A and B are shown apart, each in its own frame.
Chain A
Amino acid sequence: MKKFFTWLDATFIKPIENSKMPLGTFILIAYGYMVVRDMLEGVLETPGIGLAATTIITIEMLLMHFPLFYFMLFIVAILLIHFSTGHDIRKITRVLFIYSFIILIAPLVDPLFRSGGYNLAYPGDPRMILQGIKATFGLGKLHYGGSPGMLMEGWLGVILVAVYSGLRAQKTWRKVFSILLAPVILVVAVFIAGGLQQIVAVIFGGGSIGIANIYATGGLIGSATRKYSLVLLLPLIPLIWLGLWRYSREKVHLLLRSLKPFLLVLSALAAGAGFLFGWLNLRDVLVGVLRNPFDYIALFALLVLGVLAGSASLFFGNAYDPAVDAGARRTFRRAAGGLFVLSGLLAWCLGYTALFIAIAFFVCGLVLHIPPLRLSRFAVSSSFFYALGMFILVAAGYSLFGMERTLSVFPWQLGLAVFLPLWAVFLGRELILRRARPRFEEEGEE
Chain B
Amino acid sequence: MTRSRISAGLIVAAVLAAAALAVLPPLLLGIGTLWFIAPPLGLLAAAAILLRKNSLLMVAAILAVLAVSIVGVLHPMRLFPSQERKLTATGYFLKGQIFALQGDYTQALAAYEHSERAGLEHPWVAVQRAYCHNFLGRSENAYEIFARLMRDTLLATLDVVHINYALSAMKSGNYKQGEQAFWQALSYNFQPGYCYYQLGVYYRLRNDPTKAEEMMTNAHRLAYNRSQCSSILGSIAESRRDYARAEEFYHRALRENPGNIAVHVKLGSLILRHGRSVDIAVWRNGKRKTFKARLEEMSVRELSASELKALNLSSGVAIAKISHHKLYSVIARSIPSGVKIESWDWEINPKSKRMVKMIVKSSMGTYELEGSALRSASRAFDKELQEGNVILTIEKHKVQNLEGFYRIASEIKSKYVSDAREVLLEGVRVFEWVPFDLRSYAILLNNLGFVYAEEGQLAKAIPAFKQAIRVDPAFMDSYDNLAYIYIENKRFSDAVIVLRRALEVDPGYRPARRVLDQLLAVPETGQP
Give the docked Cα–Cα distance between A213 and B16 (Å): 51
Determine the chain B residues whose CB is within 8 A of the CB of A143 once the complex forms: 429-430, 433
**Total contacts A to B, CB within 8 angstroms?**
196
Contact between chains at A425 and B60 (CB < 8 Å): yes
13 cross-chain CB contacts under 8 A: A46-B258, A118-B258, A125-B433, A218-B99, A263-B58, A269-B62, A272-B69, A276-B73, A285-B94, A402-B90, A413-B29, A416-B28, A428-B49
Q: Is A171 an interface residue (CB 8 A)?
A: no
Determine the chain A residues whose CB is within 8 A of the CB of B459 once the complex forms: none
Contact between chains at B94 and A417 (CB < 8 Å): no
Contact between chains at A431 and B79 (CB < 8 Å): no
Contact between chains at A218 and B255 (CB < 8 Å): no
Give the docked Cα–Cα distance between A387 and B73 (Å): 23
**Among B20, B55, B86, B226, contact of A47 (Cβ-Cβ < 8 Å):** B226
- Interface residues of chain B: helix, strand, loop or mixed (majority): helix
Q: Is A23 an interface residue (CB 8 A)?
A: no
Q: Is A436 an interface residue (CB 8 A)?
A: yes
Nearest-neighbor residue (CB-CB) of B46 within chain A: A428
Contact with A along B425-440 (1 / 0, CB 8 A): 0000110011000000
Given contacts A46-B256, A425-B45, A428-B48, contact A403 B58 (CB under 8 A): no
Q: Of B5-13, B143-151, B264-272, which stretch is located at the interface?
A: B5-13
**Among A273, A405, A420, A431, contact of B68 (Cβ-Cβ < 8 Å):** A273
**Among B21, B64, B252, B255, contact of A114 (Cβ-Cβ < 8 Å):** B255
Q: How many residues on the B side are at the interface (Cβ–Cβ under 8 A)?
A: 71
Contact with A along B15-35 (1 / 0, CB 8 A): 011011100110011100000
Contact between chains at A144 and B433 (CB < 8 Å): yes
Q: Is A4 an interface residue (CB 8 A)?
A: no
Give the docked Cα–Cα distance between A119 and B429 (Å): 14
Give the docked Cα–Cα distance between A22 and B256 (Å): 42
Q: Is A27 an interface residue (CB 8 A)?
A: no
Contact between chains at B257 and A425 (CB < 8 Å): no
Most buried by B among A145, A423, A428: A428
Q: Is A432 an interface residue (CB 8 A)?
A: yes
Determine the chain A residues whose CB is within 8 A of the CB of B95 once the complex forms: 285-288
Most buried by A among B29, B90, B93, B94: B94
Contact between chains at A408 and B58 (CB < 8 Å): no
Contact between chains at A433 and B28 (CB < 8 Å): no
Contact between chains at B257 and A424 (CB < 8 Å): no
Q: How many residues on the A side are at the interface (Cβ–Cβ under 8 A)?
A: 64
Given contacts A280-B72, A288-B102, A433-B54, contact A424 B94 (CB under 8 A): no
Give the docked Cα–Cα distance between A287 and B61 (Å): 32
Given contacts A48-B259, A424-B20, contact A409 B91 (CB under 8 A): yes
Contact between chains at A119 and B434 (CB < 8 Å): yes
Given contacts A47-B226, A277-B72, contact A424 B91 (CB under 8 A): no
Contact between chains at B79 and A413 (CB < 8 Å): yes
Nearest-neighbor residue (CB-CB) of B31 within chain A: A417
Which A-B residue pairs are the 3 nearest by beta carbons? A262-B58, A285-B91, A144-B433
Nearest-neighbor residue (CB-CB) of B10 within chain A: A431
Nearest-neighbor residue (CB-CB) of B49 within chain A: A428
Q: Is A438 an interface residue (CB 8 A)?
A: yes
Contact between chains at B9 and A431 (CB < 8 Å): yes
Determine the chain B residues whose CB is within 8 A of the CB of A411 once the complex forms: 77, 79, 83, 87
Contact between chains at A115 and B255 (CB < 8 Å): yes
Most buried by A among B1, B7, B61, B78: B61
Give the docked Cα–Cα distance between A389 and B252 (Å): 56
Q: Is B452 an interface residue (CB 8 A)?
A: no
Contact between chains at A428 and B45 (CB < 8 Å): yes
Residues of chain B having any CB pair with chain A under 8 Å: 1, 3, 7, 9-10, 13-14, 16-17, 19-21, 24-25, 28-30, 45, 48-49, 52-55, 57-62, 64-66, 68-69, 72-73, 76-79, 83, 86-88, 90-95, 97-99, 101-103, 111, 225-227, 252, 255-259, 429-430, 433-434
Q: Is A203 an interface residue (CB 8 A)?
A: no
Residues of chain A having any CB pair with chain B under 8 Å: 46-48, 114-116, 118-119, 125, 143-145, 217-219, 222, 260, 262-263, 265-266, 269-270, 272-273, 276-277, 280-282, 284-289, 379, 401-403, 405, 408-409, 411, 413-414, 416-418, 420-425, 427-429, 431-433, 435-436, 438
Determine the chain B residues whose CB is within 8 A of the CB of A414 once the complex forms: 28-29, 77
Determine the chain A residues whose CB is within 8 A of the CB of B90 once the complex forms: 402, 405, 408-409
Contact between chains at B48 and A413 (CB < 8 Å): no
Most buried by B among A289, A417, A435, A438: A417
Contact between chains at B10 and A435 (CB < 8 Å): yes
Contact between chains at A47 and B256 (CB < 8 Å): yes
**Among A218, A265, A417, contact of B28 (Cβ-Cβ < 8 Å):** A417
Determine the chain A residues whose CB is within 8 A of the CB of B93 once the complex forms: 405
Nearest-neighbor residue (CB-CB) of A403 within chain B: B94
Contact between chains at B60 and A269 (CB < 8 Å): no
Give the docked Cα–Cα distance between A409 and B102 (Å): 23
Most buried by B among A48, A285, A414: A285
Determine the chain B residues whose CB is within 8 A of the CB of A422 once the complex forms: 61
Distance in angstroms from A51 CB to nearest chain B CB is 11
Distance in angstroms from A184 CB to nearest chain B CB is 27
Distance in angstroms from B125 CB to nearest chain A CB is 11
Given contacts A143-B433, A287-B95, contact A116 B255 (CB under 8 A): yes
**Among A48, A270, A284, A429, contact of B57 (Cβ-Cβ < 8 Å):** A429
Contact between chains at B69 and A276 (CB < 8 Å): yes
